[in-house]
Structure 1
Amino acid sequence: MNKRLLSSIVIVVGFLVFAFFQGTHSSNHQAKIPKVGILQLVTHPALDEIHQGVVAGLKQEGYVNGKTVKIDYQNAQANQANLKTMAQNFINQGDNLTVGIATPAVLSLAKAANGQSPVILAGITDPVGAKLVKSIDKPGANITGTSGDSPLTEHLDVIQKVAPQAKTLGIIYTSSDHGGTYHAQKTEKLAQEKGLRVKMYTIASTNDMQQVAETMAGQVDVVYAPQDNGVASAMKTLINTTNQAKIPVIPATDTMVKDGGIATMSVSQFDIGYQAGLMAGQVLKGQNPATMPVRSVMKGSLVVNIKEAQMLGIELPANMVQEAQAHGEVIQ
């Protein structure tokens, strides 16, 4: 074998060895990138905003999808079987951490994680009542995150300003939605204390909205739609029915106002997700979720729908509109 051929073989072998070790190093580097699973109950604007906030919060902590973290986003489309399967898949593929958007999603993640890998709440109304954490200040296990409780007293103030002559308030919620039930029952007590007669209506799924809304519209003067995933998903159906009866709807979130509600004091769903994303990033860096207090996002801003009010023949108080223009949002 001549020297030139031998030299060529040595060069090729050296290149292959170098490429092998570089590939191994690259694979090891990729393997070290943390994986985060995000499980969302269903598609609707409020939960979509929470999802966007989670991703933004992770980015703020230095975890950019595709670069410094791998995010696997799954949407169960309100299917309980999907929730169970998707949650278990996150655990099976070794995700470092999971994030649940809406109470049913977190419950599925908590069961799949079985106290082992961290689970981050993203906008859960009543995490203690749902038995996800021991307390707000000391969660005590592998779960923490953000609570997106509604400013119910402010919502009732909006109801009485929009419909000052109303005597009967209808509250509609999903019977299987823990957060919706929690808010509906609390609002019922607060409304009764203010002298309002309250009628409660439930739907088992979005398919029930048309029929229940038609019944409700003939029995009440104004409707309250709490922070409830089923009601939010069927908001346009609710509005189509109440509009025909000229009944105003006061919902819990700005996205529901955009779907036809009159007005609300709305907590930012994006901010709820953003705070959860920050906490997820901190857990990835080594913080213990057991000792991280659940963060409550409660500060809201006034949102009014001028177009809807005019269609129903309702003149909103000037100071409400002015406040929304200055510190919230006006939908024309």
Structure 2
Amino acid sequence: MNLKGIHHVSALTANAQENYRFYTEVIGMRLVKKTVNQDDTSVYHLFYGDEKGNPGTELTFFEIPMAAKNHPGVSSISTIGLRVENDAVLEYWKKRLDDHGVKRSEIVERAGKKYLDFKDTEGQRLTFVSDETNHGVSSGTPWVHSPVPKEQGATGLGPVKLTVRKPESTVKVLTDILGFVKTDRSYPSPADNQPDILVFETGEGGNGGEVHLEERSDLPPERMGRGGVHHVAFRVDNKEELYKWVEKLNSLQIPNSGFVDRFYFRSLYFREPNGILFELATDGPGFDTDEDLDSLGESLALPPFFESKREQIEAKIKPLNTKRS
């Protein structure tokens, strides 16, 4: 029952069309699945990733039309990391982000790794992290047909930062329940008079298995909206292991969703004490289960349990052209 790293991160957008443009044309990720929110089939759930959407590379978005702007604060997933091959690639991204009018920072070093922070068009907080000195969880493979050269492309998800008011309870869940290990690679907070940010890792560790924990006593609770993050998922090997996690959480009397079949993977959801939603998700079956690898994301894909409702779903959902020439 050892978690293997970060599986995916799911965030909110108010505009699926603009979201698709930004993450495919600017960031150069591949749309590997265009489907619907399984809890509200009238809106999209978009999955971006590497060449086939391997676990550990998936950045997903629920479309919530008319969603208010996200108001940052505690009890939040406050930064999403995207891995790149080395330090030199960060220089490439400085220029590319500037060319596309994207707000960014300068390159900074945190806990021995170099980062380039930026925001998408809705204020989503992201950062490129260099794998130059990285060891641990393997990265993915950028899509060869991306507008970004393969050598400069995002290779997967990097560290995810959690911002909380009371870190002790979150630390207990990460270490005592989920099996994360606290490292000695802390780094200074960006805010005055706040503790250093702590670094935890799971699986083989490194950028693909890290959670950074930020304590902030100076912020209100986050009011989630467009540009906010809904949840982070961690990798479980298979559904048999996931059932064991259900048993473990139940034995600890931790409220949870129980086993959930998302078709492309199987899931388990629960909230840690500061209110952040965690998911445990299996590595398979994968996104090429119901589509050819060459045409992933080009059509509206529905899990078999929604296929009988396709006509009604397509009648309610607004068109989103994702056909690639």
| TM-score normalised according to structure 1 size | 0.25
The structure richer in strand per residue is 2
Structure with the higher fraction of residues in helix conformation: 1
TM-score (norm 2): 0.25
Between structure 1 and structure 2, the one with the greater Rg is: 1
